[in-house]
Structure 1
Amino acid sequence: MDALPFLTAVYAGQPVWLWLAFLSFIGFLLWLDLGVINNKDGVVSASKSAKMWAAFASLAVAFGAYVYFVYEPDPRYYNSPDNLNQQAVIQYFTGYLLETALAFDNIFVIGMIFTFFAVPREYQHRVLFWGIIGAIVFRAIFIGLGSAVVNEFTWVLYIFAAFLIFTGWKMLFGGDHEMKLEDNPVLKFVKKRMRVTETIENHNFFVKKPHPDGSGRLVLWATPLFLALMMVELVDIIFAVDSVPAIFAVTRDPFIVYTSNIFAILGLRSMYFMLAEAVERFKYLKYGLSLVLVLIGFKIIWNFGLSKELKMVPYMEPHWSLIATLVLLGGAIGYSLWKTRHEGVKPAE
């Protein structure tokens, strides 16, 4: 009985029990992933990866049905008190599509990380699995902070708008910049202050080996697999700088923000082993994504500045964002596949 007041307490617009139920469900999915389906080291085939993605995508759609029929949105986070569930489900799917597209760049960078550290394919799923654990924690922190700031100081959305427009413009015209891992300051810092083995030791992130002073006593060493995991987490944090402002531009409901983020991360990480081999076929996706970011940035200015404050234009309803996102991303993907239809897929390393 003592736990009931805590479970029914409201956090970020929803009762604590709902947050715990969602996290427990995600924990169950991760246990099912590593503890049952992929409990042994091995290469995840493209077909198995596709099936895993289809399962996660189906769950994301099913959760959208929950949002529409069962979820009780907090009116504070919505423009109108009418049709709250309809607004919530549109914002959820818009956020899910946007986060999936934003996370797509992770695949290319993660592939670079695995190549740099010479991570065998049979251990890559283990790194991605623990990377998801970190992403769940870090996204919760970023979204919690972002929600507190946005709902206390609404004008921060204008800063988000300017950032999204700038990011989209830079993606559109800034060119490609290759990530140089050997020059990464975080990696240099860690390697100077930790004992790191020269080679990967099975699937272990840490191993016990003799101290380098020759005393013979066993001490803990990090392996290159741990450094790869650390860099995957760092990349996710860097990409969150783009994705968190983008999703708050779509919806201010923290529960919708977080759930759409997590389902997108789960789905895309499960698709890594299939998309990593064909990532070059989606080379024009970034142009569609850049236009989506610019559009969302202008939507903030339109809705909160020109519509709410100046009363100059009508409010842009959420479904228009969803339609625009679908058209731009779908068009960019279709154009990419058409333009690269004669290009061969790189063989798996």
Structure 2
Amino acid sequence: MDVSPLVWGLTIAGIVGLLLFDFYFHVRKAHVPTLREAAIWSSLYVGIAIVFGLGVLVFGGATPGGEYFAGYITEKALSVDNLFVFLIIMSSFRVPREDQQKVLLFGIAFALIARTGFIFLGAALINSFAWVFYLFGLILILTAGNMLKSEDEESETADNFVVRLSRKVIHTTEHYDGDKLFTVHIGKRAMTPMLLVMVAIGGTDILFALDSIPAIFGLTQDTYLVFTAVAFSLLGLRQLFFLIEGLLDRLIYLSYGLAAILAFIGVKLILHALHENNLGFINDGEPIPVTEISTSFSLSVILGVLVVTVLASLYSPAGKAQNAISNARRHASAYLDSEYTQDPAERERIYGLLLSEHDQIVALGPKYRQRARDEEPLMELLQHARDSHDAAVARGQAKPTGPSKLLSPRS
């Protein structure tokens, strides 16, 4: 596409304007977004991305339009996978519920800045060195392989090298002071955990870009389409987090679907590299006449894999059980954490979700009830949450919810 500087300027201004609007009208005042609010705004941002894509179809043609939608869908799917890590980071740092929106918006803004840098770097490399397609293809295939490996315990601590170094260099408090990055502690200026959370999310955003950018360049080499597909996939990610937070652990096959998509795009890039080959040790530096994968076929494969992956995850009993157990663990921890929220209604909502997740585990049958009972730390958490709620009811600080019925090792 031939995009004028004016169109570039208007596009960037529009994206920055949406981020500023999000901050001043939704995030600046700390609050927990309702499901309705998250659904409305998430749908609005998806609608904006679709309208933009239709504009590309009308003014750019079918090929650029197809490339944009293929890139947008792929980047959106990868961004949902990134939400898993954001959830782990915020759980590890015990970010207060009311301030999670601000952390997410920072992560989105930082990701957009970091990926924009990678986009222009990638475009410069592609324009100068055709062999970069081989490199990008190899990166995606290796990334696909790594996604199939099981996660180790250390990967879920959100305590990376940068965070550990920050803790050593800068005096850090153990508790939050609202959404402040710095506070005064024992007469000294100190860093709050809020800044550490943002450092952790910023660091992971850079890592995410290492597979995100090669993936989008595997679908289109048009810098404008790459930038807009990435930008629109990130916009609305904050609202999407609160909308599907309770379903994240249920998508047990998402990593397999994304691995298949990244491997497919990696093969597509290598085929394109062979078609444009100029490396002397491959076919004497001459292009190799191989079949290239069309944009329409790529879009069909991406959509098909995602639909199958999501449906298989949602209807899988194992997915339902994992989702219920993971959410029960998270909600029990949140209910017991005095810093998680100051809103009594939010605490009651969390306990209500805990009861609902208990019912889901029970409904799945003896096999999954036993799986939950076998997790001793989870049983202890549930017991503490039950005792804490009973004590709050006795003090008149919470409403009775009927007979106490949370799982126990013998229930």
Same fold at TM > 0.5: yes
1:157 and 1:300 in contact (8 A); partners too = yes
TM-score, length-scaled by structure 2: 0.72
| Compared CA separation, residues 177 and 250, structure 1 to 2 (3 A) | farther
Which residue pairs with 1:123 in the alignment?
99
**Residue deviations 1:207-265 (CA, integer Å, cap 9, x gap):** 355654xxxxxx4x321111111111111111111111111111111111111111111
Tell me: CA distance 1:252–1:182, structure 2 relative to 1, closer, same or farther (3 Å).
Answer: closer
Q: Where in structure 1 are there 5+ consecutive unaligned residues? A: 1-11, 72-84, 213-218
Cα pair 2:173 2:193 within 8 Å, conserved: yes
1:1-349 map, 5 Å: 14-71=3-60, 85-172=61-148, 174-178=149-153, 179-181=155-157, 183-208=159-184, 211-212=187-188, 219=189, 221-306=190-275, 310=287, 312-340=289-317, 342-343=320-321, 345=324, 346=327, 348=331, 349=334
Instruction: State the alpha-carbon separation in 1 of the partners of residues 2 and 170 from structure 2.
Output: 42
TM-score w.r.t. the length of structure 1 is 0.84
Paired residue secondary structure (1:250): coil
Partner SS state of residue 271, structure 1 = helix
**What is the rounded CA distance, in whole Å, between the counterparts of 2:162 and 2:292 in structure 1?**
44
Task: Please give the per-residue CA displacement for 1:147-203, whole angstroms capped at 9, x wherever unaligned.
Answer: 11111111111111111112112323x222342537521111111122222210012
Is contact 1:249–1:297 with CA below 8 Å preserved after alignment?
yes
Q: Distance in 1 between matches of 2:172 and 2:117?
A: 29
Q: What is the alpha-carbon distance in structure 2 between the residues aligned to residue 177 and residue 339 of structure 1? A: 24
CA distance in 2, matches of 1:226, 1:106: 20
- Cα distance in 2 between the residues matched to 1:262 and 1:182: 25
Secondary structure at the counterpart of residue 276 of structure 1: helix
Amino acid at match of 2:238: R
Q: Where do 5+ consecutive residues of structure 2 fail to align?
A: 278-285, 335-411
CA shift for structure 1 position 314? 3.6
State how far apart, in whole Å, the 2-side matches of 1:258 and 1:182 are. Answer: 28
Q: 1:206 to 1:70 in 2, by over 3 A?
A: farther
1:204 to partner: Cα distance = 1.3
| Whole-angstrom CA distance in 1 between matches of 2:290 and 2:305 | 24
- Pick 1 or 2: higher relative contact order, CA cutoff 8 A, min separation 6: 1
1:20 positional shift: 2.1
Measure how far apart 1:307 and its partner are: 8.0
Q: Distance in 1 between matches of 2:72 and 2:167?
A: 36
Distance 1:339 1:188, change over 3 A: same
Amino acid at match of 1:336: S
Task: State the shift of 1:132 in Å.
Answer: 1.7
Amino acid in the other structure paired with 2:255:
K
Aligned length: 317
* Cα offset, 1:13, TM superposition: 6.1
Could you tell me how far apart the structure 2 residues matched to 1:86 and 1:307 are?
A: 23
CA contact (8 A) 2:118 2:213 kept: yes
Q: For the aligned residues, what is the CA RMSD? A: 2.2
Q: Distance in 2 between matches of 1:15 and 1:208?
A: 50
Q: 2: CA distance between counterparts of 1:230 and 1:23?
A: 25
Kindly provide the CA deviation profile for residues 56-114 of structure 1, in whole angstroms up to 9, marking residues without a partner as x.
1000001101211235xxxxxxxxxxxxx211111111111111111222211111111
**1:310 & 1:16 partners in 2: Cα distance?**
34
Which amino acid in the other structure matches residue 315 of structure 2?
Answer: W
Aligned to 1:75: none
Which amino acid in structure 1 is aligned with residue 152 of structure 2?
Answer: H
Taking the aligned partners of 1:53 and 1:190, their CA distance within structure 2 comes to 34
- The C-alpha deviation readout for 1:18-54, integer Å capped at 9, x for no partner, is 2221121112212222212444211112332122211
Q: Match of 1:273, SS?
A: helix
Q: Whose Rg is larger?
A: 2
Query: 2:268 touches 2:292 (CA, 8 Å); kept in 1?
Result: no
**3-state SS, counterpart of residue 252 of structure 1:** coil
SS for the counterpart of 2:218 is: helix
